[in-house]
Structure 1
Amino acid sequence: MANGNNYHTLSVLVANKPGVLTHVSGLFSRRGYNIDSLTVGVTENPDISRMTIVVHGDEHVIEQVTKQLNKLIDIIKVVDISPLESVDRELALLKVTADPTARAEIIQIVNIFRASIVDVSAKSLIIEVTGSTDKINALEELMRPFGIKEMVRTGKVALVRGAKPTQFDK
Structure 2
Amino acid sequence: MPKITPNLWFDTQGKEAAEFYVSVFPNSEITNVSYYSEAGPREAGTVLTVDFRLDGQDYTAINGGPQFTFDEAISLLINCGDQEEIDYYWSRLSEGGEEGPCGWLKDKYGLSWQVAPVGMAELMNDPDRRRAERAMKAMLGMKKIDVAALYAAADEG
* TM-score, with structure 2 as normaliser: 0.29
**Larger RCO of the pair (alpha carbons < 8 Å, separation 6+):** 1
